[in-house]
Structure 1
Amino acid sequence: MAGYANVLGSAQLSGGYGSNLMPPQAITEILQAAPKASALLTMANKVQMSAGTARQSVLGSAPDAYWVRSEPKSDSKSGMKETDLQAWEDIVITAEELAVVVPIPDNVVADARIDLWSQVAPRVAEAIGRKLDQAGIFGADMPVSFGTSLLAGAIAAGNVITRNRDIPVSTSGTGANAASTSRKSDLGEDVAEAGKRLRKQGYGISGFASAPGIEWELIGLRNGQGTPIYVPSLAAGTPSTLYGKPMGEVDNGAWDDAQASIIAADWSKVVVGIRQDIEYRIFSEGVITDAAGKVLLNLMQADSKAMRVTFRAGFVVANPLTALQKDKTKRYPAAIVK
C-alpha cells in the first residue's frame, strides 16, 4: 500500500521471515574466569622424578657435644671424650596418576564458533591442580602414598591457632579478689602467633596460602608502628605479602573454609615430585567403558574424538630434625590459623 509512513525497519528484518537478513552478531569470545593456578605447584618445592618412586634423606638425629672434665667423675669418665651418633631418615615420594578423558562429537566441534579443544585443555589443567591441592593441603581423596596432608600434620603437632583468641590485657587485685580483663585477637595477631610457634620448633615461614577473601580482612591491619602488615600486589607477577612473606589466595576451588583460614609454612619442606607433566592427547579411535566393562562410547562409530589428559606427581612433607626441637612429634613445618 502506497503512502509516506511505510518505512522498512529492523523490527521487520529481525523477526519472522526476514530474520536471516539481519542475523544477530556471533561473539566468539566466551565470558569466563581465567583458569586458576595450583597452590602446591606454585609454592611447594618441586622436584623432577626420574622414576616412579624417589627417596630423599633428611636429618633424623644429630650428635651432641660433651665437656671433657679433668676433675674426677662418679662414672669414672674423667678426661674421656664421649661419643654420639648422627642419623638420617628417608622420605619416599611415590608418583600417583591424575587423569580424565573428555569426549566431544565431531559435529559439535565442527559447528562450534570457537576451538573447543583449546577451551577444554586449560580447564582440565585447573582441575588437576585443584585435585592436587585438595589432597596435599586438606587430605581430601588423598592417595595413601602421600602420607599426611599439611592440615593433618599441623594438627598432630599442635600447630593450630584459633581465630579471635582471648588475650589477657590486665590483672587487678590479688588472691581471691584477683580479676583479669581480656580482648579478642585480630587476624594479624593470630598469624604472628603461628609464626612464633613455628620459630620455636626451628622452622621459619616462607609464605602463606589462604582462603579466598582473606586479603580483605587483612587490609587495614597495622603493627604497633602503624605499618600495614599486609601489602596487596600492585603489579602483575608481584605477589601480595603478609609480614613481608609471599601470600596467595587459593582460588581454584580447593580451599575448605571450614578447615582453615590461613596456612603458614616453610614451603621448602613441602615437596611435590613431578614424574610426568600434564600431557594432552586427542584420540579419534577407541572405546570408552565403565568399571563393569560396559561400552559407553565408541569414538569411531559415534564420529567423536576424546582428549585424554594425564599427570603423575607425588607429595610428601619433610620434617627434619631442628636444633630447637628434637622430638619429631612436637615439630612440623606448617601451622594453620582456623
Structure 2
Amino acid sequence: MPVNITSRADAEALIREQVISTIFQDAPKQSTFMSLARKLPNMTSNQTRMRVLDFLPTAYWVDGDTGMKQTTRQAWDNVYIEAAELAVIVPIPEAVLDDAEFDIFGEITPRVNEAIGQRVDSAIIFGANRPRNWQNDIITLARQAGNNVAVGSNPDYYNLLLGEGGVISKVEEDGYMATGALAAMTMRAKLRGIRADDGSLIFKSDMQGSTNYSLDGAPMYFPQNGAYDNTIAQLIVGDFKQAVYSIRQDVTVKILDQGVIQDPVTKEIVYNLAQQDMVALRIVFRMGWALPNPATRMDEDRVGCPFAYLEPTSPAITQKVTFTVKDNAETAVAIEGAIVDVNGSRKKTDASGVAEFNLRAGTYPARIKKSGYGTINDTVAVTSAAVSKDITLIPHA
C-alpha cells in the first residue's frame, strides 16, 4: 500500500543550497621582470636621463726617462628612460554592485594588477606590444649582440647552457654574471637530471619539495603570469641587475560615476555612466625601463649584452638590416669602427663600413656616430624583406 510522503522533489524549492563563501581562484601573479631588475627612484617627469660611461681612458708605458707621455680621453653618453602608460576601464552597472554577494571592485583590482605585470614582462622581455618610445626588448638586444643559441635537431642541453658558446657562457663572455634565469614550465623536463663534470646537478631546488630553483647557481624562475613566450625563447639567462626601471605613476585606482566611454576605434559612445546608472573602475600605471650597458674593460664598445637566450626549435622570423657607413669624400671611403645604435642595440662597423642587424618587423630609430664625425639620426622600417641603409658621415671641420 503506497505511503504518501513529502519527497525531496516536492520540497526542492525550499531546500537551501550550500554556497562556499569564497571564490576559488589562483593567486594573482606579479611582474617577474620588476622583481629581478634594479628599481630606480620614481620619475619626476615623463623622461629621465641617465649619464652612462661611453668611452674608457687608456694608459701608456713611457719609453725611458725622457719619453713623451701620451694623452687619452673619456666620454659619457645619455640613456633615456621614457615613461609609458598602461590603463584600463572596467564599467559595471550599479545594480550589479548592489546585488553582488562579494566586493566586485576588491576582486577585480588584483586581477588588473596581474594584467599590468603581464604586459610589462611581455613588452620588456619579448617586445610584445612594446611602446614606441621604449628601447628594444631584451630578446632583441641579446640577438644583436650574438647572444642567441640555436638548439639544433638533437640538442645537448648541458652544452647549450654551459659549454663554449652556450647561453650562460655568452653572458660571462660579455663580462657579466648570471643573476637569474627564466623559462616556460615545459623547460623543467629538459633540465632535470643534467649534471656537471663533477656529477652535481646544474638544475635543482633548494630543498625537497621547494619551488625555489637554481640553474648553475643562479636563481631560476618559471613565470606564471602568462607573459613568457616559448615560441621566441626556450630559456633566458642574464644579469638582471643591469636592467633598470622607474615608476612615473604607481597603480592608481579611481571610481568614475559621470562621463561617457567611447570605442577607441569607432569613437562611438558605448556607455553613458550617469544615464545608464553605471560606475567605472579606472586603473592607470606609468613606468619606463632601460638597459644602460655602460662601457667596461671587457666591452669597451658597449656592443655586448648582459642577457642571452636559447632559441626554440623554430626561431622567430627576423630580417637582415645592413648599414653601410662611408665618408663624404668625392670617392667615398668606408668608415671602420663607427657605432650604429638601433634603438639600444649597438654594433661597430667592420673594415668595409658595414654593420648588420637581425630585426623583427617594426620601425626603429637609429643613430650612427664616430669620434671626429657628425652624428646621423635615422629611422629604419622593417617589414618582410631585408633592408639596406647607406649612411654618410661628415667629418668635423
> Secondary structure in 2 aligned to 1:88?
strand
What are the equivalent positions in structure 2 for 1:1-338 lying under 5 Å apart? 5-14=3-12, 19=13, 21-47=14-40, 48-70=42-64, 79-164=67-152, 184-192=154-162, 193-232=166-205, 234=207, 239-291=212-264, 292-329=266-303, 331-338=304-311
Q: How far is the alpha carbon of 1:236 from its aligned partner?
A: 11
Tell whether the 8 Å contact from 1:164 to 1:187 is kept in structure 2 after alignment: no
Q: How far is the alpha carbon of 1:237 from its aligned partner?
A: 9.8
Equivalent residue, structure 2, for 1:173: none
Larger Rg: 1
Tell whether the 8 Å contact from 2:205 to 2:211 is kept in structure 1 after alignment: no
TM-score w.r.t. the length of structure 1 is 0.84
Superposed CA offset, 1:285-307 (max 9, x none):
22112235422111111111110
> C-alpha separation between the residues in 2 aligned to 1:113 and 1:92?
48
> Secondary structure in 2 aligned to 1:32?
coil
Closer/same/farther in 2, CA of residues 5 and 228 from structure 1, 3 Å limit: farther
Counterpart amino acid of residue 224 in structure 2: D
Counterpart amino acid of residue 139 in structure 1: G
Counterpart amino acid of residue 303 in structure 1: D
Q: How far is the alpha carbon of 1:231 from its aligned partner?
A: 2.0
> Secondary structure in 2 aligned to 1:50?
coil
Equivalent residue, structure 2, for 1:74: none
Q: Provide the aligned C-alpha RMSD in A.
A: 2.1
Q: Which runs of 5+ in 1 are unaligned?
A: 72-77, 166-183
Tell whether the 8 Å contact from 2:62 to 2:68 is kept in structure 1 after alignment: yes
Q: How far is the alpha carbon of 1:86 from its aligned partner?
A: 1.3
Counterpart amino acid of residue 186 in structure 1: D
Closer/same/farther in 2, CA of residues 307 and 60 from structure 1, 3 Å limit: same
Closer/same/farther in 2, CA of residues 277 and 106 from structure 1, 3 Å limit: same
Counterpart amino acid of residue 200 in structure 2: T
Report the count of equivalent residues. 306
> C-alpha separation between the residues in 2 aligned to 1:219 and 1:131?
30
Superposed CA offset, 1:25-45 (max 9, x none):
223322222211112111111
Superposed CA offset, 1:265-315 (max 9, x none):
111111121111111111122211223542211111111111000000012
Of stretches 44-53 and 83-92 in structure 1, the one that deviates more from structure 2 is 44-53
Tell whether the 8 Å contact from 1:213 to 1:249 is kept in structure 2 after alignment: no
Q: How far is the alpha carbon of 1:7 from its aligned partner?
A: 3.7
> C-alpha separation between the residues in 2 aligned to 1:195 and 1:236?
26
Counterpart amino acid of residue 114 in structure 1: F
- Structure holding more helix per residue: 1
Q: How far is the alpha carbon of 1:95 from its aligned partner?
A: 0.8
Query: What percentage of residue pairs aligned between the two structures are identical?
Result: 35
Q: Which runs of 5+ in 2 are unaligned?
A: 312-397
